[in-house]
Every structure is written in structure tokens, then in C-alpha cells.
Structure 1
């Protein structure tokens, strides 16, 4: 497993969190996903054999939010 932290831009309300988390759970290989509103971060645990951090970042961008940084570490 791999931990992924993505710094987000453009989240303005709690419904943004639900939208992003819902999209993450649609991606195969995402074990968990949580958006931290005050920190503007997405924290996820993924199976690197099924997906990678860039796929998550692309999904965030498609929803209309920006990605400022991506950090990966082994879980």
C-alpha cells in the first residue's frame, strides 16, 4: 500500500469534500480517501498495483479543483 497526500486548491465548502471523496472511492485501488477541509489536503491509501497518485490528481482536476502538490510514501 502507498499513502498519497495531495494539496488541493479551490475547495470552499463541505459539499466539495463529499464530491472529491466520492470520486476517489470510484477509482479501483483506492483503499481509503479523506479530505481535510482546513488543510486543503486529500489523504488517501492506494494499492500501487491498481492505481497511482497521478490518477487521483487527474480525477480531482476533472472535478474542477486544482492540485498544488503530490506527496507519496509507502504505507
Structure 2
């Protein structure tokens, strides 16, 4: 398992948490995902043999959130 952290543009509402955690959490290979609202960070634990960090980033961006780092 691998852990990745993404810094997002500031999140504007708590529903953003459910949206990101729900979509990323359903991806094959994702063990755990946590969105930290106050710091606008996403932390994901995933199986690098099943999914890549780039794929996680793409899903977050398709939801309308800009990944800064």
C-alpha cells in the first residue's frame, strides 16, 4: 500500500468532503481516503498495483477541484 497527499485549492463547503471521499473511495485499489476540510488536503491509501496517484488526481479534478500539489 502507498499513501499520497494532495493539496487542493481551498474547499468552500463541507459537502465537498463527501463528494471527494465518496468518488475516490469507490475506486478499485483505494483502501482509505480522508479529506481535511480546514487544510484542503486529501490523503489516500491505495494499492499501487491497481491504481495510480495520477488516476486519483484525475478523478478529483473531474469533480471540479484543482489539485495544487
TM range (shorter): over 0.9
Name the counterpart of 1:25.
Answer: 25
Cα-Cα RMSD? 0.8
Q: Which runs of 5+ in 2 are unaligned?
A: none
Other-structure match for 1:16: 16
Aligned residues: 69
Q: Hey, what's the Cα distance between the residues in 2 that align with 1:19 and 1:43?
A: 14
Structure 1, unpaired ranges of 5+: 70-75
Task: State the 4+ residue runs in structure 1 displaced beyond 4 angstroms.
Answer: none
Query: TM-score under structure 2 normalisation?
Result: 0.95
The structure with more strand, counted as a fraction of residues? 1
- TM-score normalised by the chain length of structure 1: 0.88
